[in-house]
Chain A
Amino acid sequence: MERKLITKTDLLIIAAVVVLIVISFVVKNFSGENLVAEIYFDGKVIESVNLSQKEEKEIVTGSNGETVIKAKDGKIFFTSSCCPDKVCVKSGKLEKNGDFASCLPEKVVVKVRGEKNDNIDAIVY
């Protein structure tokens, strides 16, 4: 029998470990991301909602205490606010890492955060 530097068994072990590492890396970065929505009032986090676990919650906050934010089916959105322009409600549903909506008159911000790196650093608007 010929002696090799690396045997078949060794190759199998290497392949198995590499495959495992790659799989765990892919799983961690590309799926099952742990998405958390943070609700800020006047610059402070007042509530966090786990969107990945489809946590359902209704949060009432704001300077006038009349701004309503709802989390449902892994999405979070402003349902109503006493502000004049309703920009917050028009912002739509937030569901991915980096999504952001605010109600300026009521000093409320909702941000979605995930574990993986954002594709972009910031949005200019």
Chain B
Amino acid sequence: MQKKKSGIAVAVVLAAVILIVVIYDFSAKKKIFEDTDFAMGAVISQKIEASGGEKIAEEIVEKIKDVENNISWRIESSEIAELNKNKKATLSDETVKYLKELLDVCEKSNGQVDLTVGNLVNAWNIGSENFRVPEENELETILESVDYKKVKIENNLVSVGANQSIDLGFAGKGIACDEAKEILQKHKAEKGIISVGGSLCLYGEGVFNVGIRNPLGDVNDYMAVLNIEESFVSTSGNYERFSEKDGKKYHHILSTETGYPTDNNLLSVTIVCQSGLLSDALSTACYCVGYENSLPLLEIYNAEAVFIFDDNTVKITDGLKEKIEIKNDGFELWKEN
């Protein structure tokens, strides 16, 4: 009798152990569709947990290409190209919506980011083979054309100043992330991690572990991990795109005050918030205005941020305090913020 009981006990213990291991292994291996593609001059990486993940991923890439075809001034047939050419154009509801939201960021940042920065971007061509360093007086003339206040929107009719041209490069990837989320929602996907050239759409329940690129390391090197829930994340950094001339590096975040690459003590700014467009636009804005001036801006938009400075210190906003782990000893978190 006792012998039998002990046999059952052994069997129960073993069965429990095996069950736990199997469940653990199974839960770790849910079916996830992964995809890599190109759009907006960037790599689109997608991980989607849903039935029909492949179809959803396809739809997202198509949508991002559509958005690019509407808002990239580099594409001759785009709405923005038409506006830049004719200084007046009737635009789609979608594009008007993006413009309005971005004009608001331009206003709140006192023009430190400005969507009429097209001529300036074009004069430098940083990161492309047409890169050059413009003359000082050339920059002065160009800066006169940079003023978001001259952009007028009346219903769908949009006009810009005589010499102005619009460049939405500081928000395009974030806009793409917003569109991706909408498609994930429409198809009731369980989870989605969409990267549009490094700007992220994190969709679904649970916690996402997001590495923040080490501004001093190579592309796969992250210096901290954010443990955050569903949101959008974008980083602007001086390592992203740059050109070199006579041993001097010129990064792509241009100052609307000087016309030169923004020169401050920041290596990168990462934004976490509930809008892709805002996460992207605010990362550029906060990089440009610096830490102190970023705080009111972040408050307006209910956004959180991680600032990495050139002395390898890191400052974070209150909402991320419990959610960040520094993974690289070379970086130090400011304690008193």
Report A's interface with B, CB cutoff 8 A: 3-7, 10, 13-14, 17-18, 21, 25, 40, 42-43, 84-85, 90-92, 94, 96, 98-102, 104, 107, 109, 111, 117, 119-125
Query: In chain B, residues 208-247, which have Cβ atoms closer than 8 Å to a Cβ of chain A?
Result: 208-213, 218-220, 222, 225-226, 233-235, 237, 240, 243
Q: Among A3, A17, A92, A109, which residue has its beta carbon within 8 angstroms of that of B43? A: A109
A124 and B21: CB pair below 8 A? no
A122 and B195: CB pair below 8 A? yes
Top 5 nearest A-B pairs (CB, nearest first) are A125-B198, A125-B213, A43-B37, A84-B129, A123-B211
7 A-B contact pairs sorted by A residue (CB < 8 Å): A14-B14, A100-B219, A120-B210, A121-B47, A122-B193, A124-B235, A125-B237
Q: Among B2, B10, B36, B41, which residue has its beta carbon within 8 angstroms of that of A111? A: B36
Contacts of A42 in B (CB 8 A): 38
Contacts of B210 in A (CB 8 A): 120-124
Most buried by A among B37, B41, B202, B213: B37
A6 and B9: CB pair below 8 A? yes
Contacts of A99 in B (CB 8 A): 220
- Name the distance in Å between A119's Cβ and chain B's nearest Cβ: 7
Q: Which residue of B lies closest to A24 (CB)?
A: B21
Contacts of A100 in B (CB 8 A): 45, 219-220
Known pairs A10-B7, A122-B45, A122-B195 / 4 extra A-B pairs, C-beta < 8 Å: A121-B208, A123-B212, A124-B200, A124-B270
Report B's interface with A, CB cutoff 8 A: 2-3, 5-7, 9-10, 13-14, 17-18, 21, 28, 35-38, 41-43, 45, 47, 61, 127-129, 193, 195, 198-200, 202, 208-213, 218-220, 222, 225-226, 233-235, 237, 240, 243, 270
A17 and B198: CB pair below 8 A? no
B220 and A98: CB pair below 8 A? yes
Measured in the bound complex, the distance between the Cα atoms of B209 and A75 in whole Å is 25
Measured in the bound complex, the distance between the Cα atoms of B10 and A15 in whole Å is 10
Measured in the bound complex, the distance between the Cα atoms of B14 and A92 in whole Å is 47
B9 and A10: CB pair below 8 A? yes
Measured in the bound complex, the distance between the Cα atoms of B218 and A30 in whole Å is 24
- Name the distance in Å between A87's Cβ and chain B's nearest Cβ: 8
Known interface pairs A104-B41, A104-B42; A124-B233 also in contact (CB < 8 Å): yes
Known interface pairs A14-B14, A85-B127; A122-B211 also in contact (CB < 8 Å): yes
- Name the distance in Å between A12's Cβ and chain B's nearest Cβ: 10
- Name the distance in Å between B109's Cβ and chain A's nearest Cβ: 21
- Name the distance in Å between B106's Cβ and chain A's nearest Cβ: 23
- Name the distance in Å between A71's Cβ and chain B's nearest Cβ: 16
Measured in the bound complex, the distance between the Cα atoms of B11 and A125 in whole Å is 51
- Name the distance in Å between B60's Cβ and chain A's nearest Cβ: 12
CB contacts between A and B, total, < 8 Å: 110
Contacts of B3 in A (CB 8 A): 3
Known interface pairs A84-B128, A104-B41, A104-B43; A17-B9 also in contact (CB < 8 Å): no
Q: Among B17, B61, B219, B234, which residue has its beta carbon within 8 angstroms of that of A124? A: B234
A21 and B270: CB pair below 8 A? no
Known interface pairs A42-B38, A107-B38, A109-B43; A120-B225 also in contact (CB < 8 Å): yes
Contacts of A25 in B (CB 8 A): 21
- Name the distance in Å between A28's Cβ and chain B's nearest Cβ: 9
A13 and B10: CB pair below 8 A? yes
Measured in the bound complex, the distance between the Cα atoms of B41 and A119 in whole Å is 28
Measured in the bound complex, the distance between the Cα atoms of B131 and A63 in whole Å is 22
Q: Which residue of B lies closest to A3 (CB)?
A: B2
Known interface pairs A5-B6, A84-B129; A119-B219 also in contact (CB < 8 Å): no
Contacts of B208 in A (CB 8 A): 121-122
A123 and B28: CB pair below 8 A? no
Most buried by B among A7, A85, A123: A123
Measured in the bound complex, the distance between the Cα atoms of B210 and A17 in whole Å is 37
Contacts of A119 in B (CB 8 A): 209, 225
Measured in the bound complex, the distance between the Cα atoms of B327 and A119 in whole Å is 12
Q: Which residue of A lies closest to B37 (CB)?
A: A43
Q: Which residue of A lies closest to B42 (CB)?
A: A104
A21 and B17: CB pair below 8 A? yes
A123 and B9: CB pair below 8 A? no
A18 and B219: CB pair below 8 A? no
A17 and B14: CB pair below 8 A? yes
Measured in the bound complex, the distance between the Cα atoms of B30 and A117 in whole Å is 11
